[in-house]
Amino acid sequence: MYEGAVQDLIDELGRLPGVGPKSAQRIAFHLLQADPADVERLAHALTEVKLKVRFCEVCFNVAEADRCRVCLDPRRDLHAICVVEEPKDVVAIERTREFRGRYHVLGGAISPIDGIGPDDLRVRELLTRLGDGTVTEVIIATDPNLEGEATASYLSRMLRDFGLRVTRLASGLPVGGDLEYADEVTLGRAFEGRRLIDV
C-alpha cells in the first residue's frame, strides 16, 4: 500500500477493464514522473469525454450531438438496421464499408452470470424503432461467442412477428471471438454471407 493520492490513483486505474494491479501500479508511477503538461492533457481528455460525448438518442452509438454521425448522414439506408453489442463494433463494421444502413447498439450481451438480462440491454428501444415499419431488414452482429449467440437467439425470437428479414452475421468469424478483433476482410465476407435465422 502506498500513501493517499498514489494509492487512490492505483485503485482507480485498477478498476479499468484489462488493467491488473501490476499494470495499475506501473501506469501510476509513469504518470508521477511524466511531464505535468502531458498529465494535464490526459486529465483534460478524461473530463472532456464525459462532458461532450453522449449516446445517440436513436441508436445509442457514441455521439457528440443528440445523434451520432451515422444517424445524421442522409445517405444512409433507412431500411436496414445492424444490431451490435458495443459502439466499438460500429467502428469495426464501418471500416469494412460493407454496410450502408444504420445501427442499434445494445450496450452488451445477455449474460446471467454478470447479471445482464434483456431488460438491461436496449432491446425495448430496438422494438420501438421497428414499430413504424420503415425498417425491413435487421442484421444481428453480436459477438460470435456464447453470450453473443444467446443474445442473437433472443432477439430473433422477439423479432419473429415483425415480418422482417432477420439475418445473423456468422460465416467466417472465428467462434468464441470478439467482433472488434475480426479483420476487415473477414468481417466484410461475414456481411456478404449473412444467413437468415430460423426460429
Partner 1 sequence: MHLRHLSVVDFRSYTSAELPLEPGVTTLVGLNGQGKTNLVEAIGYLASLSSHRVATDAPLVRFGATQAVIRGAVVRDGRETMVELEIAPGRANRARLNRSPLTRPRDVLGSLRTVLFAPEDLALVKGDPADRRRFLDELLVARQPRWAGVRADYDKVLRQRGALLKSAAPVLRRGGRRAARPAHVEGVDTASERESALHTLDVWDSHLAQVGSQLLYARLRLLRDLGPYLGKAYEEVSAGQSDTRVAYRSSLREETAGRIAAGEVPEVGELHDEVLASLAEVRGAEVERGVCLVGPHRDDVVLSLGDLPAKGYASHGESWSFALGLKLAAFQLLRHDLGDDPVLVLDDVFAELDTGRRERLAAMVADCEQVLVTAAVPADVPDTLMGRRYAVTLGSVTEVA
Q: Rule CB under 5 A: is residue 71 a binding residue for Zn ion?
A: yes
Q: Does the footprint of partner 1 cover residue 70 (CB under 8 A)?
A: no
CA–CA dist 23, 11 (Å, integer): 11
Q: Please report how close the Cβ of residue 71 comes to Zn ion at its closest, in angstroms.
A: 3
Q: Report the distance separating Cα 157 and Cα 108, nearest Å.
A: 18
CA nearest to 14, candidates 34, 4, 28:
28
Q: Is 113 a binder of partner 1 (CB under 8 A)?
A: yes
Quick check: 107 and 125 in contact, CB under 8 A? no
Q: Is 17 in the site for partner 1 (CB under 8 A)?
A: no
* One of 146, 181, 185, 195 touching partner 1 (CB under 8 A): 146
Q: How many residues bind partner 1 (CB under 8 A)?
A: 16
Q: Which stretch binds Zn ion (CB under 5 A): 6-14, 24-32, 48-56, 176-184?
A: 48-56
Q: How far is CA 121 from CA 34, 111, 136, 172, 175, in A?
A: 40, 11, 22, 26, 23
User: What is the contact surface with Zn ion in residues (CB under 5 A)?
Assistant: 56, 58-59, 61, 68, 71
